[in-house]
């Protein structure tokens, strides 16, 4: 008799920036440490089952037993907030009471591939199926000398223009664009305000100080908007966005320092 296929995982990757995620800001800001521990318990339950789990009364009371001080009403509120902030997929939760997400399914699929498991995401799929791996072609017989095929690959193709190659690489985002998105993205800035007990005006002041800080260190762009948000939250948590002086206006805009000391501010 064949051994049954194991769908659950014995471990799952835990990002070191897990608690810096803006989705967790709202949970920890409203529910404190109980909300954070509950979120981790739910992730363990999902990965133990595979890539999703059905939210039932039995599962709820099992978690309550494992979470001292968390009442059934509080647990329901935490679940609703996690769904609201898109930590779990809202469509599947509303229609089938299923807890899963695109990120959970991507990580599950990557782990299954590395472990050479044949687990396939079939039910409640939110991501594209993995591309089939190409089989290696058999090497030609030694008695038949042939020109190496890789020689043709070294010759640049006329269709592969430099502009097409450069578009594959993501361009950095200017500081002004990042500031504009940070101020207008309510899904992100509301949890940040809740996390750090900031009013709307205080948040705008912190963003303005963040801009001055970046100008002072000559950092006028970020790899992405998310990179700018992480940079802002790091400085905010370190208390470096309180009082920042205006950069000198008489300094040349195209000045670059080429000395051998100093380091880049992160």
Q: Average pLDDT of the chain?
A: 79
pLDDT in tens, 233-263: 888 888 888 877 776 554 454 544 444 444 4
Strand partners, 99: 53
Asked which of 1-15, 65-79, 191-205 is least confident by mean pLDDT, the reply is 1-15
What span, in angstroms and rounded, lies between the C-alpha atoms of 91 and 238? 37
For residue 190, CA distances in Å to 15, 22, 70 come to: 23, 9, 25
Phi, psi at residue 35, to the nearest 5°?
A: -65, -40
Q: Of 202, 263, 264, which is closest to residue 236 (Cα–Cα)?
A: 202
Greater pLDDT, 8 or 193: 193
The residue-averaged pLDDT of 89-95 equals 94
């Amino acid at each position: 008799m064949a051994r049954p296929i194991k769908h659950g995982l014995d471990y799952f990757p835990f990002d070191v920036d897990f608690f810096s995620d803006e989705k967790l800001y709202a949970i920890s800001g409203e529910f404190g440490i109980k909300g954070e521990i509950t979120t981790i318990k739910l992730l363990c339950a999902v990965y133990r089952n595979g890539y999703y789990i059905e939210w039932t009364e039995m599962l709820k009371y099992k978690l309550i037993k494992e979470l001292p001080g968390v009442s059934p009403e509080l647990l329901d509120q935490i679940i609703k907030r996690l769904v609201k902030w898109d930590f779990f997929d809202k469509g599947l939760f509303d229609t089938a009471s299923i807890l899963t997400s695109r990120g959970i399914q991507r990580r599950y699929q990557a782990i299954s591939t590395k472990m050479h498991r044949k687990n396939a995401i079939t039910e409640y799929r939110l991501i594209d199926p993995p591309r089939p791996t190409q089989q290696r072609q058999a090497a030609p017989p030694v008695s038949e000398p042939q020109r190496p095929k890789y020689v043709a690959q070294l010759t640049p193709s006329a269709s592969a223009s430099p502009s097409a190659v450069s578009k594959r690489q993501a361009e950095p985002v200017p500081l002004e664009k990042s500031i504009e998105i940070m101020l207008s993205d309510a899904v992100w800035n509301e949890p940040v305000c809740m996390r750090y007990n900031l009013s709307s005006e205080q948040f705008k002041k912190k963003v303005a100080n963040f801009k001055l800080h970046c100008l002072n260190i000559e950092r006028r762009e970020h790899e992405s908007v998310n990179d700018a948000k992480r940079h802002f939250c790091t400085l905010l948590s370190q208390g470096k966005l309180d009082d920042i002086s205006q950069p000198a206006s008489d300094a040349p805009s195209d000045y670059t320092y080429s000395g051998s000391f100093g380091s880049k501010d992160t």
